[in-house]
Structure 1
Amino acid sequence: MSTELAVGDYFKRLKEKNKYNKDELKTMQNTVRNLLACSTSSNKPGMLLGNIQSGKTRSFIGAMGLAYDNGYDMVIIFTKNSSALVKQTFERLEQEYSEVIDQDLLAVYDIMKMPEKLRNFELKKKLVIVLKKEKKNMERLEKLLFEQYNVLASRKLLFIDDEADFASVAYENVKEKNIIELRVIAGQIDNIRAKLVNASYLQVTATPYSLYLQPEDMAIHEHKTYQPKRPAFTELVPIHDKYVGGDMYFENSKIEDHPACFLYHEIQEEELKILAKSDKRRVKSETLLTNPRIEGIRSALINFIVAGKIRNLQQRRMGEKLEKYAFIIHTMTSKSAHQWQEDVAVLMEEKLVETLKDDLTFFKELILNSYNDLKRSKMSDVFFPSFTDVLESVKESLLDQELLIEIVNSEKDVENLLDKSGQLKLRTPLNLFIGGQILDRGITIGNLIGFYYGRNPQKFQQDTVLQHSRMYGARPLADVALTRFYTTNRIYSVMERMHEFDKELRQAFETGANGGEVTFIRKDLNNNIIPCNPNKILLSSIHTLKAGKRLLPIGFQTLPKSQLKPKMNKIDAYVKNMRENALRVDTEDRRSFLVHKKNVEHLLQQIAETYVMHENYEWDLEQHMAMLNYLTEENEPEDRGKVWIVLRENRNIGRIRSSTNSFEDSPATTQDELKVARKLARTVPALILTRQNGLIEQGWRGGAFYWPVIVTPKATQTTIFANKTIH
């Protein structure tokens, strides 16, 4: 599209102020060209698709300025249902458009705070109205356009639906029915738009999942694939070089010695329960700094203080401004829980100061443990201060009360806490925020280097779960190296699956892979794999299947050697029999052979009986076998129901990965068996079967065992397997 766009006062000022790069300019220009050329509505919107906290607001504000220069008179911005976010958006707009506002060329209004009567002089300006998406606000907007100032209804309007994935297509829990049902506000917007002479509609979202939602009454019959509901046009928000997203937390974290592999710190479910309500029997003042039951929150608090001071020492060394830092505790919405968590954090700070004065040896030990943890992820090209300097800086920080602990759990609190730019204000060098729903709503918090997260992932959908922890956004890598993320393994696993799900949908949508189609499936009561309507899936239960993916048990111990040995004798004999009666043996790797799927199912059941799963870890064997069944049946008749076995013996892998003190999750080496498995698994899946010696010195119980890894075929198209669905 080559339509020449006018560039006037509105966009020129923004461009000068923000120094947009060529990719950002291209996105903004294409967005406005398409808005001018296409007919758009809430059912077929223009779309700005970006990543979470990746600069979507920057992009749509730039597009607004260009739209004003090209005939649009008024922009109506719908935000998520949060007064605080309305305020944040309002403040951002006033800041960005300050020059044209001062020249009386533009006015920004919060619909809840509009003057009682606008004069013609005011109505002739370019206008922005910001409102949260709720019924009464829609009624206010309708009255504003068609009763109070009907001259506006004849002008060229642009609706911008910010974070469209939250409210235009959103889920809410209906307790009476104990179900989750789709709620659509877009109809109200369409009613308003139908009365307008000239209006355009732009959605801004970070979650491509909503594009795959189909009408509730759609008959799917035998079709398993879903194409996204194509918007009138889609522009992708460019990802800037400082962006930190799911790749860092869930992919780079798997790379040995990468700074990201130290980001995640596991906490126990029991600790979340302790922090859910006041319990002074289990949390006593005198044992706050030693109680193993609250080790997670204690190390989180100390690590935050130490990390903040390390960054300040690094900044001082480089002659840079000393930044202020933030930490979030976000576990539930209950105000009583927030108060209890604040009590614990404040008391912990007091005990640290007391220990500093009365027991310097123990204080040094606490700070040294934190220092050593953070030093593991230091960057080779960034100065790392000595322990002596860090210790002195931490002591000074505590004595000067640089740590501020605040509860953020109501709209009023957030409005009072926002700074001039609409971000949560950082008043002191170290700011610890404790909150609930308000922190769900997209409020921007700068310089976050700590997240303590405990919301229940079974109770909400994917568009909120990744936003909850506020993990993503523009972050200096020097900050990322000292960032720590604290949650349970159960929650981390759900978030990891959701990240993968989001990434695969985004890739299918952006690249048009497989025609943009994605397969949604589930297992029925008869263990058959059947199509699943995307509207009906619970995203906390999904698994994404793609080419070359591994499925394996993690977080287990074996049975005691005496109990393990007889079971292993049977498994060894079974494996030997499978090998001797194989359908085919690979000519290049004689240890690899083809067998029937039913043999693999029986083998996996036997292996599962040799494991004892660690608390909060599980091997959902039934689900893995259901996915294996799907992978083996989606083939041509000659390959159907078959699996390659890649056998390796005499292996010695440790139970715990020493670098991160976490459970080992890579029993298959990439240069040997995983490489062979991916080569063989072209149309049928492979099962890597490593026979581990299970040595005591490596954390096992002295008995040999098998560690299986399912590898999906190269031909696997993006497939979403839903373990649980909504009925």
Structure 2
Amino acid sequence: MTRNANLWTPQSGQKLQDLLGRTNLSRHEQSRVEQETLRILGRCRAPEWDNDGTSAELVVGAVQSGKTLSFTGLIATARDNGFPLVVVLAGTKTNLRDQTYERLVRDLAMDGDGRLPSWYPVNDLRPVNAGEILARAQRWQDERRTRSRVTTVAVVLKNHASLRRARSVLADVLGQVPGAPVLFIDDEADQAGLNVARPGGAESSTYRAIRLLRETAANHSYVLYTATPQAPLLIALEDTLSPRTVSVLTPGEGYVGGADLFDESYAGFVREINDDALDDESISPPESLERAIATYLLAMVVAQLRGRPRPLTMLIHPSSGTDLHRAYDAWVRGIMGRLTVALTDGDEVLRDQVTTEVFSPAYDDLATTGGNVVEGASVSLEELIEMLADDGYLEAVRVRVVNSAQGNEITSSEWTQAPGWIVIGGNKLDRGFTVENLAVTYMPRGPGVRNADTVQQRGRFFGYKRSYLDLLRAWMNPDTADVFRKYVRHENAMRGALSELDTNGRELSTWRRTILLDSSLNPTRRAVISLDVDDFRLSGWVLTQTHVYGEPTGPTAEGRSRLDGLRASATDDPRDHRTHARNTVVRSTWGEVAEVLADWRAAADEKNVLYSSLLALGSVEGEIPVDVVFMNGGATRDRGPSVASRPVLAGAGWDLNLIDDVEALEVGNLMQGPDPADGSTYRGDRGFAAGDTVTVQVHELAVEVGPGTRSRATSVAIHIPTDLSDRVILQAELAG
């Protein structure tokens, strides 16, 4: 019986309505956010005092899609429904914590509006805050003071030192109001907080600090927010951070994601750069950098003419090495300086030369996507150059390096002080950090270790950008672009599976974790995976079904009927040079063959491979051609037990009822070898596979089940070509 994900029914209140009213969202979008927020809070524990218990719930958004608004709405609704204390774990860097705190104070009007206060915001919990928090928590127990109730919202850095301080404060407060309901919100929950030190039962320092922090609150819910849920989904189910439910956020109107940029608009968005852009010892900048900057500058003045978005930003996102950041800072300032001199120094010959050689190719590039159009009419290159040079836009662009060595964070009030920004940085800009109105990205870095969640988090170019999609460009290493392109299908498959759970109100414990990946990607960093999983690399001969001694194997009655229909259409396979019992082949589609294989009976391990193949190939857009090969034209082949299985069967007197693990028994030599050895007459069964399409072989067997006794069985063998190779991470077995 499926357990319902919802625990109670929260009500939409004034604080949530006030928050939504301050946004620029349409009424439809406001309603969507409201319903999602109520659903998320309804899956948390109800704010009942002295009702001890804990839960962990997962919320999945898309990168740059509005997770902050969602958990801000969750805080507002928690206040409306009686939560006295909310603790937000906001990233691993102080700039992200401060950014989150400032947004919450602004968006929830925590500074007050001339009425009784509703909020007590705290940035970084310290012992000095304990008394104020306690006094406010105690008001919630006084029925005479309902109008003066205040919800504390504490924003905490996600490192062990900050978490230890927060634990000390909460222990002090909750020791005196022990039954108080607490709501924890973990922003970017896949980062830092999961356990990466499991050998011998050890705990990593931040994971342990979070566990101890939660243990101070006997009555709480812990909500994990992330755009990359691979890691939280692959921790052991008994882990305290393993989520009970999942809620999937729907991106709002105008959102641009992976499918938009790396599928539908790939040719318009991606520009390739070479490895010279990665060299921090190079004296001169890579040629592509000047082109990217020129494209950005033209896009900026187009945005100014349109009136939006302002300001417009370019992000230069190399690796984490600060030497490379310094090199790019020098190169960018050098390029900007040369362009400024060329366009503003009064030398018309030089100005014309730079316009022709530098800006004209950039203008033509923008024009391919309509990036030179304002109010329905094309703006000339000359007009854009005049704005850059004569109106002062070029000199007004600010260049800023943002990294752990130099800091230099751009505050929320700074962004609007210039029409354009060129921001240079590495890991500090990977996740959480908001780059306002990012249009042009220059990413001179390889794909790294190819962890899917890390790759996705680098996508600062995702977000609410549809109104200026024509201005978006990204210069990147070809391998990096390819990884982003391949990630799109993985993201779609995962969101589809999680959305089904969310929509049907099912707990995650009812879902067998299944993660589809391109064969070149890893789901997440290996150290955090504690769930027992099987890892299937789907390329080549992914399945040869040899375990046929257990429960009935092969097609169902309906599948047999479909299979017979295919066999009736099959013709002699021209690759088979034998004069009798030739293989036959028919070209079909994966959609048609999948209907046969979906209910194909097989031993557990082989069923897992079959399931993974169905998932992977079923997610490919368009019809995949499949060669269905009937070995020996559908005539039976005699097969006996394998070398390892024969003595087991003989020792039991061929009585399967006396054998503990019947599924482990195999037939030997399912795949016939070449004949003669050079394969001149028969290339062997493995030779009947195409390099450009999926091959499904059907083997009709007469299996030896006793001395002189045989039984009919049908086996399948599946070959997937390299171009369709995939990887599937599958939970070893579903928890009972």
1:269-288 per-position Cα deviation (integer Å, ceiling 9, x unaligned): 12222xx23x33xx2xxxx7
Q: Is residue 42–residue 189 contact of structure 1 (8 Å, CA) maintained in 2?
A: no
Query: Distance in 1 between the 2:53 and 2:466 partners?
Result: 37
Q: Is residue 54–residue 239 contact of structure 1 (8 Å, CA) maintained in 2?
A: yes
Compute the RMSD of aligned alpha carbons.
Answer: 4.6
The 1:515–1:97 alpha-carbon spacing in structure 2 relative to 1, beyond 3 Å, is closer
Do structure 1's residue 720 and structure 2's residue 727 form an aligned pair? Answer: yes
Question: In structure 2, which of residues 15, 21, 45 is the aligned counterpart of residue 10 of structure 1?
Answer: 15
The 1:110–1:14 alpha-carbon spacing in structure 2 relative to 1, beyond 3 Å, is same
Question: In structure 1, which of residues 133, 138, 145 is the aligned counterpart of residue 170 of structure 2?
Answer: 145
Q: Is residue 317–residue 426 contact of structure 2 (8 Å, CA) maintained in 1?
A: yes
| TM-score (ref. length: structure 2) | 0.64
The amino acid across from 2:91 in the alignment is K
Q: Secondary structure at the match of 2:378?
A: coil
The 1:170–1:327 alpha-carbon spacing in structure 2 relative to 1, beyond 3 Å, is farther
**Could you say which residue in structure 2 is the equivalent of 1:584?**
584
**Could you say which residue in structure 1 is the equivalent of 2:188?**
163
Q: Is residue 45–residue 202 contact of structure 1 (8 Å, CA) maintained in 2?
A: yes
Query: Distance in 2 between the 1:93 and 1:411 partners?
Result: 27
Question: In structure 2, which of residues 401, 412, 416 is the aligned counterpart of residue 419 of structure 1?
Answer: 412
**Could you say which residue in structure 2 is the equivalent of 1:402?**
396
Q: For structure 1, which runs of at least 5 residues remain unmatched after alignment?
A: 219-228, 254-259, 289-293, 524-531, 546-575, 590-629, 644-669, 685-706, 723-727
Q: For structure 2, which runs of at least 5 residues remain unmatched after alignment?
A: 1-5, 140-149, 505-509, 520-525, 540-572, 590-604, 632-689, 697-717, 730-736
Do structure 1's residue 80 and structure 2's residue 91 form an aligned pair? Answer: yes
Query: Distance in 1 between the 2:206 and 2:212 partners?
Result: 11
The 1:303–1:183 alpha-carbon spacing in structure 2 relative to 1, beyond 3 Å, is farther
Q: How many residues align?
A: 541
**Could you say which residue in structure 1 is the equivalent of 2:334?**
347
Give the CA deviation at 1:158. 0.5
1:632-677 per-position Cα deviation (integer Å, ceiling 9, x unaligned): 99569xx9xxx9xxxxxxxxxxxxxxxxxxxxxxxxxx9xxx75x5
Q: Is residue 8–residue 46 contact of structure 2 (8 Å, CA) maintained in 1?
A: no
Q: Is residue 303–residue 312 contact of structure 2 (8 Å, CA) maintained in 1?
A: no
The 1:397–1:678 alpha-carbon spacing in structure 2 relative to 1, beyond 3 Å, is farther
Do structure 1's residue 309 and structure 2's residue 321 form an aligned pair? Answer: no
Do structure 1's residue 385 and structure 2's residue 366 form an aligned pair? Answer: no
Identity %: 20
1:344-379 per-position Cα deviation (integer Å, ceiling 9, x unaligned): 111111222233343133122121111101101117
Question: In structure 2, which of residues 192, 199, 211 is the aligned counterpart of residue 190 of structure 1?
Answer: 211
The 1:334–1:719 alpha-carbon spacing in structure 2 relative to 1, beyond 3 Å, is closer
The 1:85–1:113 alpha-carbon spacing in structure 2 relative to 1, beyond 3 Å, is farther
Query: Distance in 2 between the 1:211 and 1:544 partners?
Result: 24
Q: Is residue 159–residue 201 contact of structure 1 (8 Å, CA) maintained in 2?
A: yes
The 1:192–1:324 alpha-carbon spacing in structure 2 relative to 1, beyond 3 Å, is closer
Question: In structure 2, which of residues 332, 354, 373 is the aligned counterpart of residue 363 of structure 1?
Answer: 354
**Could you say which residue in structure 1 is the equivalent of 2:156?**
131
**Could you say which residue in structure 2 is the equivalent of 1:29?**
38
The 1:230–1:161 alpha-carbon spacing in structure 2 relative to 1, beyond 3 Å, is closer
Query: Distance in 2 between the 1:32 and 1:474 partners?
Result: 25
Do structure 1's residue 200 and structure 2's residue 189 form an aligned pair? Answer: no
Do structure 1's residue 440 and structure 2's residue 430 form an aligned pair? Answer: yes
Give the CA deviation at 1:235. 1.6
Deviates more, 1:6-15 or 1:356-365: 6-15
The 1:69–1:212 alpha-carbon spacing in structure 2 relative to 1, beyond 3 Å, is closer
Instruction: State the 4+ residue runs in structure 1 displaced beyond 6 angstroms.
Output: 38-43, 519-523, 541-545, 579-582, 630-633, 681-684, 712-718
Query: Distance in 2 between the 1:41 and 1:373 partners?
Result: 61
Query: Distance in 2 between the 1:248 and 1:42 partners?
Result: 43
Query: Distance in 1 between the 2:492 and 2:609 partners?
Result: 23
Q: Is residue 169–residue 184 contact of structure 1 (8 Å, CA) maintained in 2?
A: no
Give the CA deviation at 1:390. 2.2
**Could you say which residue in structure 1 is the equivalent of 2:82?**
71
Give the CA deviation at 1:94. 0.4
The amino acid across from 1:578 in the alignment is R
Query: Distance in 1 between the 2:588 and 2:204 partners?
Result: 56
Query: Distance in 2 between the 1:354 and 1:633 partners?
Result: 65
Query: Distance in 2 between the 1:382 and 1:711 partners?
Result: 48
**Could you say which residue in structure 1 is the equivalent of 2:249?**
237
Give the CA deviation at 1:584. 2.7
Q: Secondary structure at the match of 1:13?
A: helix
Q: Secondary structure at the match of 1:235?
A: strand
Correspondence 1:514-533 to 2 at 5 A: 516-518=512-514
Give the CA deviation at 1:90. 0.4
Give the CA deviation at 1:92. 0.6
Q: Is residue 97–residue 155 contact of structure 2 (8 Å, CA) maintained in 1?
A: yes
Query: Distance in 2 between the 1:216 and 1:231 partners?
Result: 8
Q: Is residue 45–residue 201 contact of structure 1 (8 Å, CA) maintained in 2?
A: yes
Q: Is residue 10–residue 42 contact of structure 2 (8 Å, CA) maintained in 1?
A: yes
Question: In structure 2, which of residues 234, 237, 240 is the aligned counterpart of residue 213 of structure 1?
Answer: 234
Query: Distance in 1 between the 2:126 and 2:99 partners?
Result: 14
